[in-house]
Amino acid sequence: MPAFTVTPVADADVPEVIALWQSCNLLRPWNDPVADIELARRGPNSTVLVGRFGEEIVATVMVGHDGHRGAFYYVAVVPTRRRHGFGRAIMTAAETWLAARGIAKAQLMVRPDNATVADFYRALGYGDQPRVLLAKWLDGRELTP
């Protein structure tokens, strides 16, 4: 049986990673996934991790930190591979990546209409924290949903 392995995203992985994000409905018109990957790979405080089952990319997470808190984005599992532990495994890898850098707390955002995903994170030990999320596009655009 193939093993589940996690590595940082490689150049050759980018098209398959973006296709996975698209299949999971993670892409938004105002975010350029290629630019997001490039930015995450540019410095030591962030990366994109790719989970493989054998040779197949089955999971991803973009992970980063601000020196105090870690954050996760683009957490994805191939839809036909869900409920096999790959989501939990890629999140464990991201948490380990943060802990290795001395980051003690992680947080993530879930859209309010995505109860299934929120339940997944709660099952991993994440809890709701009452906060107000404020945002602003620095180029003057109107806020996006």
56-65 and 69-77: which strand pairing?
antiparallel
Residue spans of beta strands (DSSP E) within 20-83: 46-53, 56-65, 69-77
Angle at CA of residue 13, ends 10 and 15, nearest 5°: 135
Q: Would residue 75 count as lying in a domain? A: yes
Please give the pLDDT value at position 2.
Answer: 82
Domain of 19 in residue numbering reads as 4-123
Phi (first) and psi of residue 90, to 5 degrees: -70, -35
Q: State the number of CA atoms in the 13 A half-sphere of 139 facing the CB.
A: 3
From 129, 117, 18, 27, select the one nearest 69 (Cα to Cα): 129
Q: Would residue 65 count as lying in a domain? A: yes
Q: Would residue 135 count as lying in a domain? A: no
CATH number assigned to the domain comprising residue 30? 3.40.630.30
Q: Would residue 143 count as lying in a domain? A: no
Interval 117-137: pLDDT, tens: 999 999 999 999 988 889 999
Please give the pLDDT value at position 16.
Answer: 97
From 135, 76, 134, 127, select the one nearest 105 (Cα to Cα): 127
Please give the share of the chain, as a percent, with pLDDT higher than 90: 85
In the sheet that holds 69-77, the strands lie side by side as 4-8, 46-53, 56-65, 69-77, 105-107
Please give the pLDDT value at position 90.
Answer: 97
Domain count, the chain: 1
Please give the pLDDT value at position 67.
Answer: 93
Please give the pLDDT value at position 131.
Answer: 86
Which residue positions in the chain have pLDDT lower than 50? none
